[in-house]
Amino acid sequence: MNLDKLFKRAKEKGIQDLEIFSSARSSLSIEIFDGEVDKYEIADTNALTIKGIYNNKMGHFRTEVLDDEVIDVILDTIIASAKEIDSLDDAIIYEGDEHYELLTDIYNEELYNLDVQKKINHLLALDKYLHEYDKRVSVVETMYSENNNAVVLKNSKGINLSNKANSAYIGGNVIVKDETDQRVGFDVVISNDFNDFDIEKVGKEIIDDALASLGAKPVPSDNYEIVFSNGAIATLLSAFQGVFSADAVQKGLSLLKGKIGEKIGSELVTIVDDPFMKKSASSRSFDDEGVATSYKELVSKGQLKTFLHNLVTAKKDGVKSTGNGFGGNVGAVNLKMEAGEHSLDEIIKSCTKAIYITNVQGAHAGVNAVSGDFSLQSSGYYIENGVIVKPVALITVAGNFLEMLKDICMVGSDIKMSYYGVTSPSIKVKSMTVSGS
């Protein structure tokens, strides 16, 4: 589509300001089930989201048809859409910022150009490794997923920005069983460097926990010290990440309403939004509204510092947008709990009577973003006097998100991005309620 022609016609039709957001995404998905290619999909999507201000109201149009022939249809629809709008809240076309970060290591051309057969062969090698790892392995499913994202933002106020990023993950599910029990293992490794997908390392992370969990049983209901693995706490953080959205706060849907400047966690807790994270396909130098993104501490040493804003929520609160407007919503780019100084082994050795939780289920259904309460079915290991004694399953860990943050007494150095895109280290919580046998 001839964008210059689009802008010219918009002005002729009386549209005050116009903005175009172009998104192009290509993805590759491969799945191997018990040694055979079970899924192979390549998908490409291209879309234009166009918004314009007409009579001080914002109209919208979204299309995947990028031909010049639809220019008048697009603009007429925007005008008709604007006429139906009652609110003036979102009638903002941004004029741009003086500086946008130049990002490196967020797009890897070599990953995109790597022969697909090599990716399949690598996945088959992982499948073979898992099958041969132990005779108790009964079912193996491995997967590879790759995303390449390119966005362009241009508007009538002079903004002309582009961003390109990619990443992939490799991982798998296994079922292991012995004469009396059956357990499941799952893990992924995320990167945009194919050299990071070491078969042995990825395979061990998937299967060792599953094998060690055979024979797991509930522990007696009680209060225990709790150690969350990096993956488990990242899952919980992903379920609560919406509480940092100013939109949720303004609508009364966040437990953090009215708490800016307050201590909501221990001194060890720092939670950030890092839009410049290397090797992440989500990383961006600007949001969908053209606002420059920035590294920001949402929680700094336990103190709540800021909410995430887009242009509309920032206007309501009388502050500047934080560059977190995406798809009409407000959210983090790369949510991360900063690493601490203790190894996981040191954390485990510090425990007297604890549960080391490696898996939580139903996190997005078992949490209340307004009260902060959560109750999650979990599994992991029982720790006694610094030693892992036995596997544990069929337990429920219950608590309150803010109380948990305040009770964090150790933070690990083993930081890792999870399947949900949240990055976290392992943590230790002083005490939580566990329901078991």
**What is the distance between the alpha carbons of residues 402 and 274, in angstroms, rounded to a whole number?**
22
Asked if residue 323 and residue 174 are part of one domain, the reply reads no
Asked if residue 219 and residue 76 are part of one domain, the reply reads no
- Measured on CA atoms in the order 327, 329, 330, 334, is the torsion positive or negative? negative
Asked if residue 305 and residue 254 are part of one domain, the reply reads yes
Does residue 70 register a pLDDT over 90?
no
**What is the distance between the alpha carbons of residues 192 and 105, in angstroms, rounded to a whole number?**
8
- Crossing angle of helices 71-83 and 3-12, rounded to 10°: 40
CB atoms inside a 10 Å sphere around CB 95: 11
pLDDT at 437: 86
Asked if residue 173 and residue 101 are part of one domain, the reply reads yes
Candidate from 102-106, 229-233, 245-249, 409-413 with smallest mean pLDDT: 102-106
Mean pLDDT of 25-41: 95
pLDDT at 362: 81
Does residue 94 register a pLDDT over 80?
yes
Domain end point (choices 285, 318, 337): 337
Mean pLDDT of 102-131: 95
Domain end point (choices 299, 316, 337): 337
Residues near 207 by Cβ (< 8 Å), separated by ≥ 6?
130, 133, 134, 137, 174, 176, 185
Asked if residue 229 and residue 367 are part of one domain, the reply reads yes
**For the chain, what is the domain count?**
3
Cross-strand pairs, 336:
272, 423
Mean pLDDT of 105-133: 96
Mean pLDDT of 369-396: 96
**What is the distance between the alpha carbons of residues 28 and 30, in angstroms, rounded to a whole number?**
7
pLDDT at 257: 95
pLDDT at 329: 92
Residues near 304 by Cβ (< 8 Å), separated by ≥ 6?
256, 259, 260, 261, 262, 263, 264, 298
Asked if residue 264 and residue 200 are part of one domain, the reply reads no
Per residue in 148-159, pLDDT (tens digit) is 999 999 999 999
Does residue 89 register a pLDDT over 70?
no
- In three-state secondary structure terms, 307 is coil
**What is the distance between the alpha carbons of residues 357 and 226, in angstroms, rounded to a whole number?**
7
Does residue 28 register a pLDDT over 90?
yes
Asked if residue 57 and residue 89 are part of one domain, the reply reads yes
Mean pLDDT of 270-277: 97
**pLDDT tier at 4, thresholds 50, 70, 90:** confident
Domain end point (choices 281, 306, 337): 337
Mean pLDDT of 6-24: 93
Per residue in 288-332, pLDDT (tens digit) is 999 999 999 999 999 999 999 999 999 999 999 999 999 889 999
Per residue in 167-210, pLDDT (tens digit) is 999 999 999 999 999 999 999 999 999 999 999 999 999 999 99
CATH number for the domain that contains residue 154: 3.30.2290.10
Mean pLDDT of 51-59: 92
Range of the domain at 56: 3-210
Candidate from 14-18, 60-64, 191-195, 271-275 with smallest mean pLDDT: 60-64
**What is the distance between the alpha carbons of residues 233 and 240, in angstroms, rounded to a whole number?**
11
Does residue 66 register a pLDDT over 90?
no
Does residue 14 register a pLDDT over 70?
yes
Percent of the chain whose pLDDT exceeds 90: 88
Mean pLDDT of 256-264: 97
Asked if residue 424 and residue 281 are part of one domain, the reply reads no
Asked if residue 193 and residue 56 are part of one domain, the reply reads yes
The first and second tokens of residue 392, run together, are 């544990």
- In three-state secondary structure terms, 76 is helix
Residue 366 contacts residue 375 (beta carbons within 8 Å): yes
Q: Determine phi and psi for 376, rounding to 5 degrees.
A: -130, 130
Residue with tokens 């945009």: 192
Burial 144-170 (b: 16+ CB within 10 A, else e): bbbbbbbbbbbbbeebebebbbbbbbb
Asked if residue 292 and residue 255 are part of one domain, the reply reads yes
The first and second tokens of residue 379, run together, are 């599994």
**What is the distance between the alpha carbons of residues 296 and 351, in angstroms, rounded to a whole number?**
33
pLDDT at 67: 77
Asked if residue 156 and residue 24 are part of one domain, the reply reads yes
**What is the distance between the alpha carbons of residues 333 and 151, in angstroms, rounded to a whole number?**
14
pLDDT at 88: 62
pLDDT at 324: 97
Q: What is the 3-state secondary structure (H, E, C) of the chain?
A: CCHHHHHHHHHHCCCCEEEEEEEEEEEEEEEEECCEEEEEEEEEEEEEEEEEEECCEEEEEEECCCCHHHHHHHHHHHHHHHHCCCCCCCCCCCCCCCCCCCCCCCCCHHHHHCCHHHHHHHHHHHHHHHHHHCCCEEEEEEEEEEEEEEEEEEECCCCEEEEEEEEEEEEEEEEEECCCCEEEEEEEEEECCHHHCCHHHHHHHHHHHHHHCCCCECCCCEEEEEEECHHHHHHHHHHHHHHHEHHHHHCCCCCCCCCCCCECCCCCCCEEECCCCCCCCCCCCECCCCCECCCEEEEECCEECCCECCHHHHHHHCCCCCCCEECCEECCCCEEECCCCECHHHHHHCCCEEEEEEEEECCCCCECCCCCEEEEEEEEEEEECCEEEEEEEEEEEEEEHHHHHHCEEEEECCCEECCCCCEECCEEEEEEEEECC
Asked if residue 200 and residue 86 are part of one domain, the reply reads yes
Does residue 364 register a pLDDT over 80?
no
Does residue 427 register a pLDDT over 80?
yes
